[in-house]
Amino acid sequence: MSNFDSSIAYYRQVLSQVPNQLQLNETDLATIYNDFAYAYRDSHRYQEALEYYQKALEIREKQGPAHEEDLATTYSDFGWLLMNMGDVQKALDFHQRALKIREKILGLNNGDTAMSYNCIGLAAVYIGDFDRALNCLEKALAIRRCCLAAYHPYTAMSYSSLGSYYETLSENFQKKNMRDKAVEYCSRALDMHKQALLIYKRSVPPTHEILGNSYASVGSIYLDQGQFQEAIEHLTACAVIRRKRGGSGLLHILSRLGQAYSEQGKYQQAINSYQEALSIAQKNDNNTLVAQLKANIERCKRNLS
């Protein structure tokens, strides 16, 4: 049984006992609903997560000042869910509510306050409010550097978020044909993602999903910059992690890895990566990507002959 299945089974058992035996108070019930929602959210079952966050929120918004910190947690968790579901403006609203409470009861130099700033900053990036995004992301980083250990994964998260911010700016300048600015911000993004990777290597297990994501971020920028050997090293490290963990994300990395090998003229390695990606795409019935990968493989084969 997976961790998700075990968690859901436990919470269902607890809830089934509430009417007749445990008679949980509202605080405990809201916590169970929130944990239920988190388990669903973590497994990408967003609609079920939404249902339980709403149940938790309905209780916690009625509980008053003594439970404001719990309310802020639900606001923040709800905001994360809405971001994942693509409702950025509503997510921003919930993160702002969480921040207002956390600044009041926890103060500025607190990890949860930093999390709210980080989430608001990322949402602001998505809606194109770049001044606000930078302000919030830098505040989050400053707080975390002040109140967390030197190599804490949340500090790495801040560097990664700033990397995403600079990547978005670089892409925008690229679209405007402002190449010098695009290159400048791409370089800043790489610096941020490399700093995040350095911390993640020292603070999370070697097969952790977030470490794989960090390798992918660094490798993708190296590929875009034409630094193909560095790209291959980082994308390969990501692929190793994602093969061990399973789930989504490996297909994209293998495709990028094939591109990097092809750019280096290492066509057989490129073919190997593309073929592994192709087998995944075929299982997922991704016909567009299947056609693209087959074309990439044929092109590499022609270059080999």
Predicted confidence (pLDDT) per residue in 66-118, tens digit: 899 999 999 999 999 999 999 999 999 999 999 999 999 999 999 999 999 99
CA distance 283 to 272: 17
**Cβ neighbours for 223, distance < 8 A, ≥ 6 positions apart:** 231, 235, 256, 259, 260, 263
To which residue do tokens 């607890």 refer? 14
Examine the pLDDT at 297 and tell me if it is beyond 90.
yes
Residue (of 257, 264, 260, 268) closest to 304 by Cα position: 268
Q: What are phi and psi for residue 86, nearest 5 degrees? A: 90, 5
Record the tokens describing residue 269, joined without a space.
């390695």
Mean pLDDT for the chain overall: 92
**Cβ neighbours for 123, distance < 8 A, ≥ 6 positions apart:** 79, 83, 88, 91, 92, 95
pLDDT tens figures, 194-211: 999 999 999 999 999 999
Examine the pLDDT at 11 and tell me if it is beyond 70.
no
CA distance 287 to 10: 40
- Note whether 75 and 94 are within 8 A (CB): yes
Of 44 and 133, the structure prediction assigns the larger pLDDT to 133
- If you write DSSP's letter for every residue of 42-54 in order, what string do you get? HTT-HHHHHHHHH
CA distance 121 to 111: 15
Q: With residue 222 as reference, give the H or E element that holds it.
A: helix 209-225
What is the per-residue pLDDT for 286?
Answer: 87
pTM: 0.89
SS3 content of the chain, % helix, strand, coil (to 5): 85, 0, 15
pLDDT tens figures, 135-182: 999 999 999 999 999 899 999 999 999 999 999 999 999 999 999 999
Examine the pLDDT at 2 and tell me if it is beyond 70.
no
Examine the pLDDT at 301 and tell me if it is beyond 80.
yes
Sign of the four-CA dihedral 33, 39, 42, 44: negative
Confidence band of 246 (pLDDT split at 50, 70, 90): confident
CA distance 124 to 91: 10
Q: With residue 240 as reference, give the H or E element that holds it.
A: helix 228-245
Confidence band of 1 (pLDDT split at 50, 70, 90): very low
Record the tokens describing residue 148, joined without a space.
């967390």
What is the per-residue pLDDT for 9?
Answer: 55
pLDDT cut 70: percent of the chain above it: 92
Record the tokens describing residue 252, joined without a space.
């994209």
The DSSP symbol for 108 reads S
Superfamily covering domain 215-305: Tetratricopeptide repeat domain (1.25.40.10)
